Chain A
């Protein structure tokens, strides 16, 4: 299915009727989706660093020149090199008491904080909640994703990484 940029923009903005979303889900995928998606995202951010890879809601890997690639929030806050775990540079709130968990879940539906706590990771720039972890106490923050940027661009897209 050929998905033009305007339709993709509407898909991202959730303006399409559900039946059309369903058709896009079931259809063959557009081969230039990545470039169109990055273009749409790039048009929306207020900074000029080239987006190298979308990195979840609000986050991007951007090129800072000279082979430097950072994790950056759409608010402009820069975290760290993309190979490092951005969570270590975030703000954290740990819900490890029954009272804190009951702000999110009803009584008896929040587990036992001695077994499992909720960690909320916020952007220091805009305070957006970027990730939640449900882990036992003492668990190292999960390093969710380390992309092989070079392999992706050179071997899969057939072009060099943006400078």
Chain B
């Protein structure tokens, strides 16, 4: 404490009248501009050529990094105990990061590290917008942001950002993010499916100063209490973030006291340049240069939602034609050219959200072993074309549930990277596409205590992982956006949600089949309990597979909805009559047979809120991951284990895997028969292309698919030409459907 107390004595100096907060008398903006100029000129972070400290004193270099990293992890592990939200406290949906004065990340904690880069965007925004002059950046100040156009994924990810000073100079920023359980949007929860414009996305904090002298301003605190359906969680989460930031500041101050400010400054520059070089060397060590492609899709069916305005009431198909390029000189390029349009829904993304997702994928693949900081980001190039869902470029567009499109789209990145890893021989690193983190059990109303409440259940952070090349995928244990898969405790969720768990167990056939199957999803059957009304949504894919597996591996199953209202379940319980608590096979559902009531049993898996009351049932189905390899090559024993473990319904052993349960010899015969049948049923691709071309010329496809093609073609001349060239279509070929969102995007982009 003595050392930290000493640093406090220095702060009054920084609070005096000062000319600027940057180094050597300059401003923070000048530092940022200079840093970017040097990188543009040299290709090296801040122009650093010689990693002098690392070269001359590597132990000291590593020790400083470890101490900062340890400070960040400690801040996270300690601060999360302040929170009461299961999302933060149980699941760990928070992270902290340390930045340079210019906003480049130096080191980060564990947790939802998507936000390491989004918070970097927010800091740079404040610097570029002249916050140094107005509202001022002073020691003890507190800033916040949750604006995806500035630097975030969606409103529910709320950031706290604290500048760190040493004497009169800004020497960095500490920042933390938590995922809120409710963000006060048009519909309850944290990933609201209801908003169609940003005015419905909930609490809006576009890079604001919210405190000074290490205390939150009262007007901000009061506004937070009024802005969300869950004010207690909001308040405690804010204290969590602030406490963590202050712990990080102290950790930095201790390092500076012991190592000296000049050493710390040099360290920051070198460690980021080291991160950049490390990323490039990893790329060259693990991958093969070339061009990779993997298209992802998902469905957003809103035509049925009568309460929406007419312009938003339509079915949308998201198109993500992901192209990954690895250049000979070791640069990774991610290109979404050809993506479909932004829309009047909450699944739009911004460049910051897309970069955040890229970041979290990289840290779980290429840079999981090395120093993780913004150095890696400097080895990347991205193209998220304006006007597409990946970069909506519309100041009025909603991003409330940006993850809904973002998650499926990044399956293309993982799939492409895996092709590269296999080509290089790193078979242990190969991963098929992960599972969509859905269904989102989300809603709000009157809870079991008679209070107004809202929830987003983070059981969704444990869906199936993608199959590996040498192992099956992780069962119910992974989320693409958080490397620490954790579904939380049912008991905790039951405390805050007026829904009891009647069951939670493996969901058969959710995994994508393959020589190695994907990880399995699971299901929960929830009984509405002691609530007069709770408005519940469903969120997830029902019409589209998001992405197929690798090398013969199939995609994970799509989802479905089975919610039952006005049930006889409580009567059955009172009579002590056994009742079903699970649905392993929707084609043979005991719930459908034995529970009376109003069944919603269909593939309407993304819906606006609909009321549920005590006695109603909600089946929450979590998705699996995709497979790798030809299913006929899966071992007989593995298929039998899948049946015995409830991962596979027995009748699919034969139709998918060619396995005759209980008879390994007949299995071989059956597999040979299936191979023969494949040859009889399949046709040469070029022959099939002729009939497919005729279908395109006849526009023989449903309107949402035609509109998806029309949007992509109108937003990208290159994609349109490639599409026409491939199918040998007339130069003026078009899908004759209106695309008003594209028209507006072009107007907005033309105006800007």
Interface residues, chain A, with chain B CB atoms under 8 Å away: 8, 11-12, 14, 18, 21, 24-26, 28-29, 31, 33-34, 36-38, 53-59, 87-94, 102-112, 114-116, 118, 120-122, 124, 126-148, 151-152, 155-156
- Bitwise interface map of B from 402 to 428 toward A, beta carbon under 8 Å scored 1, else 0: 000000000000001001101111111
The answer to whether B631 has its CB under 8 Å from any CB of chain A is yes
Cβ-based interface call for B429 (8 A): yes
A83–B419 alpha-carbon span in the complex (Å): 15
For A108, the closest partner residue in chain B by CB is B560
- Which one of A26, A87, A110, A138 has the highest number of Cβ atoms from chain B below 10 Å of its Cβ? A138
In the assembly, what is the distance between CA of A29 and CA of B549, in Å? 25
Q: A57-B422, A103-B656, A136-B708 are in contact. List 14 more A-B contacts (CB 8 A).
A: A11-B427, A33-B424, A57-B552, A88-B689, A93-B678, A93-B683, A94-B688, A102-B587, A127-B675, A130-B552, A138-B695, A138-B709, A140-B727, A145-B420
Residues of A within 8 A of B202 (CB): none
Give the chain B neighbours of A90 by CB distance below 8 A. 684-685
**Do A12 and B552 touch (CB < 8 A)?**
no
Q: Report the minimal beta-carbon distance from A89 to chain B, rounded to whole angstroms.
A: 7
Interface string of B681-694 (1 = CB under 8 A from A): 11111101100100
Could you tell me the distance in whole angstroms from the C-beta of A16 to the nearest C-beta in chain B? 8
Binary contact readout B526-556 vs A (1 if CB under 8 angstroms, 0 otherwise): 0000000000000001111111111111110
| Binary interface encoding of chain B residues 585-603 relative to chain A, with 1 for a CB under 8 A from any of its CBs, else 0 | 1110000000000000111
Q: Is the interface of B mostly helix, strand, loop or mixed?
A: mixed
In contact, B678 and A53 (Cβ under 8 angstroms) = no
Q: Looking at the assembled complex, report how far the CB atom of A156 sits from the nearest CB atom of chain B, in whole angstroms.
A: 6
* In contact, A106 and B649 (Cβ under 8 angstroms): yes
Known interface pairs A132-B555, A134-B548. Does A104 touch B655 (Cβ–Cβ under 8 Å)?
yes
Cβ of B258 to closest chain A Cβ, rounded Å: 30
Q: Does any Cβ of A come within 8 Å of B628's Cβ?
A: yes
In contact, A132 and B676 (Cβ under 8 angstroms): no
Determine the chain B residues whose CB is within 8 A of the CB of A135 once the complex forms.
295, 297
In the bound complex, residues from chain B placing their C-beta under 8 Å from that of A54 are 422-423, 425
Which chain A residues lie closer than 8 Å to B543 at the CB level? Answer: 111-112, 115-116
Residues B259-292 near A (CB distance < 8 A) = 284-286, 288-292
B455 at the interface (CB under 8 A from A): no
B676 touches A127 (CB 8 A): yes
Q: Which B residue sits closest to A135, measured CB to CB?
A: B295
A91's partner among B294, B295, B652, B678 (CB-CB below 8 A) is B678
Query: Are A108 and B586 interface neighbours, CB within 8 A?
Result: yes
B residues near A56, Cβ cutoff 8 Å: 419, 422, 550-551
Chain A min CB distance to B618 (Å) = 16
Q: Contact at B426–A33, with CB atoms within 8 Å? A: yes
Known: A56-B550, A109-B560, A109-B586. Contact between A116 and B544, CB under 8 A? Answer: yes
Q: Give, as a whole number of angstroms, the nearest-CB distance from B187 to chain A.
A: 25
A58 to B649, CA, bound (A): 28
Q: Are B294 and A25 in contact (CB under 8 A)?
A: no
Known contacts A111-B603, A148-B289; is A55 also within 8 Å of B509 by CB? no
**Distance from B604 Cβ to chain A, minimum over Cβ atoms (Å):** 10
A-B contact pairs, 14 of them (CB 8 A): A14-B470, A21-B428, A33-B426, A53-B288, A54-B422, A56-B551, A57-B552, A92-B684, A108-B586, A109-B509, A147-B288, A147-B290, A156-B284, A156-B289
Complex CA gap A108/B696 in Å reads 27
Q: Is the CB of B682 within 8 A of A120?
A: yes
Contact B557 A110 (CB under 8 A): yes
Beta-carbon contact of B289 and A138 below 8 Å = no
